[in-house]
Structure 1
Amino acid sequence: MKKKGLLVVTTALALTAGTGIVSAAVLSGNTAEQINYSNNGQTVKPSSPAVNIDGHLYLPIRALGETTGKYVDWDEFRSGVSLTDKPQLTGKYKLNAPNLADGIKMGVGSSLTHLPGDPDNVFYSTADRGPNGQIEVGGKTVRTFPLQDYTPTIYKIEIKDGEINILDQFPLKVQGTDPVTGKANVTGLPNIKGRDEAPYDAKGEKELAYDPYGLDIEGLAYNPKDDTFWISDEYGPSIVHVKRDGTIIERIVPKGWAAQASASLVPSRETLPAVYNKLRQNRGAESVGITPDGKYMFMAMQNALRNPDKAMDNSRQVRIIKFDLATLNPVAEYAYLLEDAGAFDKLAQADIVVSDLVAVNENTLLIDERDKFAGDKAQLKRIYSIDLSNATNILGKYDDAAAAGKTLEQLTVAELKANGILPAAKRTVLDAVEFKFPYEKIEGLSLVNGNTLVIVNDNDFGIDSTTPENGTELWTFKLPYTIK
């Protein structure tokens, strides 16, 4: 352990030279604690003190990076250190829209995407399955839907003069009649009785009808090849192909799903591996992204699968699956390693989630990872750039404990290493906690021109919110480099 620590310090020295903070000057006496530091002329104080070894000053690499305004990430699988310049906050915008009903706010922000050719201030977003909450009825917690006729919708929005304005909206619909609504528009109600959460009315007294076309829409991605959207849905979990006008074309679902739901108006393509049926309720397909060339699509789950059981809620391994859009077949699957909850204060591993992604190219994704806290209690609201170029393709290899010894979700970090599994490499591009982003759910993420990062929260229509204002807010950041 001592040798490893010395190697880290020695590496820090090489990076320290020439930064303007401190060079490898020869020191006399034990003077390391008395050194004064400045960065660009401003006095700074490292988080860890330098050490004086044989008359030379060594500053730990994390302290060096943080002091010079950089994020520092350590990759224990590749023995790599990443230093990344921090972004600049450039804009804040709040949703300008009337409430949907008394006590139910309007909201967007469950996703966010920017279309090529659109103005830099125009985006598309969604608002999940509509207003819903949980109440206690007769000692039982039930899921309520106070606006049963709400239609999951794609919204075209504009940010301008500090406001988010809705320019257009495209309710999701089938080519025919939805059995619940009696018209083309679908609902946000669950699909399959006994599998999904049971839906109830606002008072939690009456169980509502299930809708085989109902969607809990989360991620949104655009395919420039055919001018269509793909939406990730928590219920299936599924990925839904949608025309620009909101008409549902088809749905990618796990093997065995179609036999449980009568949904003849929308082709169900069972190309997701069967293991995805083992999702934790309400923690399904949270994000989707398409490469700019329209060749590949990525989908990430919100949490680890319950594979083989509920104990996997505390697993750090989240699956990211890659599809060839020409065939709609998966071609790769990767492990994404969530942050270790043990590094935070009173944070359960099960409450760290993935909330959105952007596919920059075939090997680079932006991932939104967050905790369940808001305001001053928030500890983890980060956007990572992840590199898949040398991550291990685990498609079909760790789905079944009987065949593989352990499932992906059961493996410890040590066992991942022992099995030669390299998760995606991560580096921080935004820590929203440092910028005091006030909301719990950063669920929309977009990248414009490779150097403008955009985030937006999902306010859950103000229901069960821990934030008094319960609003929808979008922030923009300028990156001091280009991601491409």
Structure 2
Amino acid sequence: MFKKSLITASTVLVLSTGATTVTAANLTGTTNDQIKYSNNGQTVAPSAPAVNIDGSLYLPVRALSESLNKYADWDEFRSSVALTDKPTLTGKYSLNAPDLADGVKMGVGSSLTHIPGDPDNVFYSTADRGPNGQIDVNGSSRRTFPLQDYAPSIYKIKIADGEITILEQIPLKVAGVDPVSGKSTITGLPNIKGRDEVPYDAKAEKELSYDPYGLDIEGIAYNPKDDTFWISDEYGPSIVHVKRDGTIIERIVPKGWAAQIETPLVPAREILPAVYNKLRQNRGAESVGITPDGKYMYMAMQNALRNPDKQMDNSRQVRIIKFDLATLNPVAEYVYVLEDAAPYKDLAQGDIVLSDMVAINENTLLIDERDKFAGDKAQLKRIYKVDLSTATNILGKYDDASKAGKTLEQMKIADLKANGIVPVSKSTILDSVEFKFPYEKIEGISLVNGNTLAIINDNDFGIDSTSPKNGTELWTFKLPYSIK
């Protein structure tokens, strides 16, 4: 409930006592339990009672929005309320594909994008670094790779008749030979020993080689200007430029990263600020988006950076960085404030993450924010429309506590306000918990024709799953408005 935001209900809802329609002016003597509400002829029951003040009836904004079947979002930095009509579920599609190996299911869904000009039911997706798991050895968790020869890939998929069909697999490759795979295709193994997780074989007994070209791919975006993809990678963290045939052109990395490893087949451009080296493992560059005109690219981290240390794992501040694609230089950085975990049950702040994005235009993004729960335990699975137009550009300003007093990640809401930092604004366009989406990792979102929203989950290759199903689903929703 928004404590300071009230709207006169009589201007929006039909208020009735018995069979007689009334206005707030003739409510004298009427008690709250006598007031009946309807919206477009349908009876509704607000979640909070109205208040009669001097003959006018007021409902809390949250109760009003719920009665009108709208989402409500409060922005304390702008003292504004956004009410948004809810979408309609229009389709459910499941992946039915052969397993890759015993106990390893086929995987897509770590990202999602639609290319203008393609049929509305055709998308591109990725499947992160490949099958991997964790095994406890003497009290220590080891990262295992059951299929070491899996090549991280782009997948062209189609949805029809309730099924997701894989039309094409495009393995990522270098213009030469990857020293670990022995082929042109890369692996999903970590890059740098001592920095990244230690990779092990399926039984967690043998340490595997590190691959300087290995990628843990997550988000995917398409640039219409040169007909290429850009893919976000959790290892670097980095953003990888890729031809349509899967050949890696270049890799954007943080300053200081290239000195730790040699990648002669793929130029490593140290363009990201050095602070991005302070990522939390497995919580790196999760999403990427490109504006339809091909001018700008955005990348968002999955969680807060460990800046200055791992205590920042519970920080709510996540960075979104903006690049000029003509020069590849960063031109802006914005603060995205994650939802507060406190009102949710058994949810740690560090387990709220960003998972994908769509760039609608220079000032508008769609962002996927979610918790770590699935099924009936899920509490936070939202797609937000994000407005950057009034957000503060903090590029290079709050990376070093010795210069700025506090790093961005150390700041609380009061600190942001004290420093005049205005985060991006957020308004809900989909709450998939209400629609009972069954899986935890909604990691791909796409928008088709401005009003069809698609979401897909990553099944993590079914590692440790006991279900015979593949566990990947793509759902579509029709928005009652257009986002452009």
- TM bucket, shorter chain: over 0.9
Counterpart residue number, 2:368: 368
Show CA shifts across 1:319-339 (max 9, x none). Answer: 000000000110000000000
Q: What code does the residue aligned with 1:407 have?
A: T
Counterpart residue number, 2:219: 219
Counterpart residue number, 1:127: 127
Cα distance in 2, alignment partners of residues 392 and 467 from structure 1: 46
Counterpart residue number, 2:143: 143
Could you tell me whether the CA contact under 8 Å between 1:366 and 1:384 is conserved in 2?
Answer: yes
Could you tell me whether the CA contact under 8 Å between 1:374 and 1:467 is conserved in 2?
Answer: no
| 8, 25, 49: which one aligns with 2:5 | 8
Cα distance in 2, alignment partners of residues 51 and 337 from structure 1: 32
Mapped pair 1:81 → 2:81:
yes
Counterpart residue number, 1:443: 443
**Gap change, CA 1:102 and 1:466, over 3 Å in 2:** closer
Cα distance in 2, alignment partners of residues 16 and 361 from structure 1: 37
Cα distance in 2, alignment partners of residues 27 and 236 from structure 1: 63
Cα distance in 2, alignment partners of residues 338 and 331 from structure 1: 23
Counterpart residue number, 2:359: 359
- CA positional deviation for 1:138: 2.4
Could you tell me whether the CA contact under 8 Å between 2:15 and 2:35 is conserved in 1?
Answer: no
Counterpart residue number, 1:56: 56
Cα distance in 1, alignment partners of residues 462 and 167 from structure 2: 22
Q: What code does the residue aligned with 1:389 have?
A: S
Mapped pair 1:20 → 2:14:
yes
- CA positional deviation for 1:197: 0.5
Could you tell me whether the CA contact under 8 Å between 2:351 and 2:371 is conserved in 1?
Answer: yes
Cα distance in 1, alignment partners of residues 259 and 96 from structure 2: 43
- CA positional deviation for 1:125: 0.3
Cα distance in 1, alignment partners of residues 278 and 417 from structure 2: 25
Q: What code does the residue aligned with 2:300 have?
A: A
Cα distance in 2, alignment partners of residues 465 and 395 from structure 1: 42
Counterpart residue number, 2:422: 422
- CA positional deviation for 1:61: 1.2
- CA positional deviation for 1:466: 8.8
Cα distance in 2, alignment partners of residues 278 and 385 from structure 1: 28
Q: What code does the residue aligned with 1:68 have?
A: L
TM-score w.r.t. structure 1 length?
Answer: 0.97
**1:250-329 paired onto structure 2 within 5 Å:** 250-329=250-329
Counterpart residue number, 2:44: 44
Cα distance in 2, alignment partners of residues 20 and 439 from structure 1: 38
Q: Which runs of 5+ in 1 are unaligned?
A: none
Mapped pair 1:184 → 2:181:
no
- SS of equivalent to 1:193: coil
Q: What code does the residue aligned with 1:173 have?
A: K
Cα distance in 2, alignment partners of residues 52 and 444 from structure 1: 46
Counterpart residue number, 1:390: 390
Show CA shifts across 1:326-371 (max 9, x none). Answer: 0011000000000000021110000000000000000000000000
- SS of equivalent to 1:73: strand
User: How many residues in Structure 1 have an aligned counterpart in Structure 2?
Assistant: 477
- CA positional deviation for 1:33: 2.7
Cα distance in 1, alignment partners of residues 422 and 465 from structure 2: 37
Single out whichever of 39-48 and 91-100 deviates more from structure 2.
Answer: 39-48
- CA positional deviation for 1:470: 5.1
Cα distance in 2, alignment partners of residues 66 and 261 from structure 1: 54
- CA positional deviation for 1:140: 1.5
Cα distance in 2, alignment partners of residues 21 and 457 from structure 1: 42
Single out whichever of 150-159 and 51-60 deviates more from structure 2.
Answer: 51-60
RMSD: 1.3
Cα distance in 2, alignment partners of residues 408 and 57 from structure 1: 43
- SS of equivalent to 1:438: coil
- SS of equivalent to 1:91: strand
Counterpart residue number, 1:174: 174
Could you tell me whether the CA contact under 8 Å between 2:220 and 2:230 is conserved in 1?
Answer: yes
**Gap change, CA 1:93 and 1:107, over 3 Å in 2:** same
Counterpart residue number, 2:399: 399
Cα distance in 1, alignment partners of residues 98 and 231 from structure 2: 26
Mapped pair 1:338 → 2:338:
yes
Cα distance in 1, alignment partners of residues 481 and 178 from structure 2: 47
Could you tell me whether the CA contact under 8 Å between 1:114 and 1:123 is conserved in 2?
Answer: yes
Counterpart residue number, 1:158: 158
Q: What code does the residue aligned with 1:262 have?
A: E
- CA positional deviation for 1:25: 3.6
- SS of equivalent to 2:403: helix
**Gap change, CA 1:223 and 1:16, over 3 Å in 2:** farther
Q: What code does the residue aligned with 1:271 have?
A: I
**Gap change, CA 1:374 and 1:393, over 3 Å in 2:** same
Show CA shifts across 1:149-181 (max 9, x none). Answer: 000000000000000001111100000000001
- CA positional deviation for 1:59: 1.2
Q: Which runs of 5+ in 2 are unaligned?
A: 17-22
Show CA shifts across 1:207-251 (max 9, x none). Answer: 000000000000000000000000000000000000000000000
Show CA shifts across 1:295-320 (max 9, x none). Answer: 00000000000000000000000000
Could you tell me whether the CA contact under 8 Å between 2:292 and 2:360 is conserved in 1?
Answer: yes
Cα distance in 2, alignment partners of residues 21 and 422 from structure 1: 39
Could you tell me whether the CA contact under 8 Å between 2:180 and 2:209 is conserved in 1?
Answer: yes
Cα distance in 1, alignment partners of residues 293 and 84 from structure 2: 27
- SS of equivalent to 1:33: helix
- CA positional deviation for 1:429: 0.2
Counterpart residue number, 2:230: 230
- CA positional deviation for 1:56: 2.3
**Gap change, CA 1:139 and 1:394, over 3 Å in 2:** same
Q: Percent same amino acid at aligned positions?
A: 79
Show CA shifts across 1:384-404 (max 9, x none). Answer: 001000100000000000000
Could you tell me whether the CA contact under 8 Å between 2:10 and 2:57 is conserved in 1?
Answer: no
